[in-house]
Amino acid sequence: MDNNTNMNRRKFLQKLGLGASSALTLLAMNKLNILGCGLKRPGSNGDNDAPCEMTYRTQNGTGEKISLLGFGMMRLPDSQDEVNRLVDYAIAHGVNYFDTAPMYKGGHNEAQTGRALSRHPREKYYVATKMSNQSRHQWGLSESKKMYEKSFRELQVDYIDYYLLHGVGGGGMDELRGRFLDNGLLDFLLEEREAGRIRHLGFSYHGDVSVFDWLLDNQDKYHWDFVQIQMNYLDWRHASLEKSGWKRDADAEYLYEKLEKTGVQAVVMEPLRGGSLARMRDNLKQRLTAIRPDATPASWAFRWVGSHPNILTTLSGMNQMEHLEANVRTFSPLAPCTDAENRVLEDIADVMAGFPVIPCTACAYCMPCPFGVDIPGNFAYYNEAVEKQILPLPDPQSTDYAIRKQQFADGLKKALPDTSKWATQCTDCEACLSKCPQQIRIPNQMVRIVETLSKKS
């Protein structure tokens, strides 16, 4: 399915007759570009002699091949020699996307990155940096331009491959206007892209989802080439939080799917959620080792992210050679998660977050649904199933899995005898989104019910 298609994910699944996780694996396998980099890994025996087979994704529009593993440079060691060694290994093993910013490591990160990368031919790497004008005294156009020009000097380049508006959303629309719109900075950056000094323009998102929505709703004007979001299997449906006076009310599932529908590729940050998905409790880790005894929890998290077809690259902050080597192995080539593995990770995420109810107050402002779905009725039954401990469903191999799954289906039939009102009839039209005072991402919550009905052992 082409990234620019108008067919949304739900319709695609319905046409194939597949569950969401089955179709996810199918799409990922079709979209993965696995190319041999033609190099041998350094070493004398074992896996170190295996050829590098880094997985690549194709950048929309230009056809550039971007390594699905990206190097996040934010936490580099202090030693330039060690930085050079890490970068040399990464490039030798097919990693070609390197992400930095003016504010990282007290303002020294771009220079470290530039010194390491400039030792290699320019066509061997793509460098990403950012307009990090978060402080109010930097909002002036002249101050921001100084930061922009300094990035070229520090990185020792005459063009920047991927340039981002850094951390939009945290201060809401007022901050977006002050930092980028009212001062003419975004217009300047658009001109720089037109001139070729910026090859691809995007933004990284943290915060108020209304800013994210506004920027993508104006895609016809700005033509974003990529967007960087926080995405992992825990934040997929458990990201909502209150922080520093602003509300982040969109799970990664919503962010990813909006990008996919808009035709904009995603760059992923925090695939390990700050390392928490690499340090999970032993009882949860045992569920993973029972399936893949030699795989680390971190590799599971990376595989889950990389299985999504609209991901351009997945950033990992690799400041130790052992982490870099392990991640290269995971992505060389990437083995997409299977349907059964996706179910296990979904269950683990529910356990880690506490299985959530849907915060619907039954106000019915979202009604009527153009396609006849009883939105409050579906949500009320789902929450009832959580309260009665029918949900979450247990492991498919457990003795009561089939019983609980049937209980859920039977309960829905009792609550909503007319199947034309079921969540399965939702077409993801989003007519309900602007009407909900609780700001519930209604189509995404409908997917929970659909997936529960379609889960297989």
Q: What number is the average pLDDT over the span 291-304?
A: 97
CATH number of 31-337: 3.20.20.100
6 or 60, which is more confident: 60
- What's the confidence (pLDDT) of residue 187? 98
Mean pLDDT of the chain: 87
- What's the confidence (pLDDT) of residue 249? 58
Place of tokens 């269950």: 347
- What's the confidence (pLDDT) of residue 437? 67
Tell me which amino acid residue 316 is: S
Q: What is the pTM of this model?
A: 0.79
Q: What number is the average pLDDT over the span 278-296?
A: 93
- What's the confidence (pLDDT) of residue 39? 41
- What's the confidence (pLDDT) of residue 379? 93
What share of the chain has pLDDT > 70, as a percent? 86
Task: Sketch the domain layout of the chain as residue ranges.
Answer: 31-337, 355-454
Q: What number is the average pLDDT over the span 150-178?
A: 95
Q: What number is the average pLDDT over the span 97-101?
A: 98
- What's the confidence (pLDDT) of residue 457? 58
> pLDDT (tens digit, 9 = 90+) per residue, 6-50?
444 444 344 333 344 444 444 444 444 444 444 444 333 334 444
1 or 80, which is more confident: 80
Of the listed ranges 121-125, 219-223, 247-251, the least confidently predicted one is: 247-251
Q: What number is the average pLDDT over the span 106-114?
A: 95
Of the listed ranges 16-20, 61-65, 125-129, 402-406, the least confidently predicted one is: 16-20
Nearest Cα residue to 254 out of 231, 228, 277: 231
